[in-house]
Amino acid sequence: IEHTAYQNDKLAMLGKIAAAIAHEIRNPLTSIRGFIQLLRPHLLQLGKDEYARIIVAEIDRANDIIYEFLNSSKPTAPMKQEISITALLKEVILLTESEALMRGCMIQLEAYEESMMVSIDVKQVKQVILNIVKNSLDAIEDVSGVRNGLIDIIVHRSSNGVEIIVRDNGKGMDRATLNRLFDPFFTTKEAGTGLGLSVSYRIIRNHGGSIGVDSKPGEGTAFTIHLPLIG
């Protein structure tokens, strides 16, 4: 018991230090961003507006990394709660639907049973599904105009739990990307952080579940998440 308490203290301390450092880095970043915006008209006159655009974009990326790092460095023991997995998926769809519509993409839910109860940390698992759906939206954007974007979310019972599949008809991934997509900071996006899937992987593993991926370049991608059921 003593050992656990000590570990928790240490984790809490680390979390506090990370938060304090992040705060101290964010403040100067905010002023740098502000002053660059003020200099923008002058840079424009010099024909150097592109520099300002890059500086601002990179500051925004640094801020995103700090934000996601803070989220992922918090103590990860799931705070479990009993919830219907279908209800959670519907909520994720509600959160992403307008963004999807703007990109000409449809999100469909196929649930074979209305009430499949799982014991999960609702916030954490919602974050995982959100990360995956947002990646699908990005992957679809890259081929938009060629065909209509479609994201299928399928949920059904498996032998000892539930299986959630998120399938898109986006640009897909080559082998090199597939080999690294769960690595922290691996990204192929200009403004990506590369943290979404590494955090997702850890969350699902902490729930005693698993996450897998199947993808074909030019055809699409399917993520499969397995979560254990209650009882």
Contacting ligand ADP (CB under 6 A), which of 69, 221, 226, 227?
221
Of 6-14, 18-26, 119-127, 192-200, the window that binds ligand ADP (rule: CB under 6 A) is 192-200
Residues 195-214 that bind ligand ADP (CB under 6 A): 195-198
Least distance in angstroms from the C-beta of 164 to ligand ADP: 14
Residues 73-132 that bind ligand ADP (CB under 6 A): 131
Query: Between 213 and 229, whose beta carbon lies closer to ligand ADP?
Result: 213
Count interface residues toward ligand ADP (CB under 6 A). Answer: 23
Query: Between 69 and 116, whose beta carbon lies closer to ligand ADP?
Result: 69
Residues 152-191 that bind ligand ADP (CB under 6 A): 168, 170-173, 177, 181, 186-189
Query: Between 114 and 190, whose beta carbon lies closer to ligand ADP?
Result: 190
Least distance in angstroms from the C-beta of 116 to ligand ADP: 24
Whole-number Å distance between alpha carbons of 168 and 96: 14
Closest of 186, 185, 227, 181 to residue 203, by C-alpha: 227
Least distance in angstroms from the C-beta of 14 to ligand ADP: 22
Least distance in angstroms from the C-beta of 17 to ligand ADP: 25
Indicate the helix (H) or strand (E) that contains 97: helix 85-102
Residue number, nearest CB to ligand ADP: 196
Sign of CA dihedral 124, 127, 132, 133: positive
Report in angstroms the alpha-carbon separations of 82 from 85, 193, 203, 230.
9, 31, 17, 8
Contacting ligand ADP (CB under 6 A), which of 55, 120, 139, 227?
139
The DSSP secondary structure of 140-200, one letter per residue, reads: HHTTBTTB-EEEEEEEEEETTEEEEEEEE-S----HHHHHHTTSTT---STT--S-HHHHH
CA 88 to chain CA centroid, nearest Å = 16
Whole-number Å distance between alpha carbons of 51 and 36: 10
Q: Based on the number of CB atoms within 10 Å of its own CB, is 166 exposed (0-12), middle (13-18) or buried (19 or more)?
A: buried
Contacting ligand ADP (CB under 6 A), which of 121, 136, 164, 226?
136
Enumerate residues 6+ apart whose C-beta is below 8 A from 24.
Answer: none
Q: What are phi and psi of 187, to 5 degrees?
A: -145, 150
67: contact with ligand ADP by CB under 6 A:
no
Which residues contact ligand ADP by CB under 6 A?
Answer: 131, 135-136, 139, 168, 170-173, 177, 181, 186-189, 192-198, 221
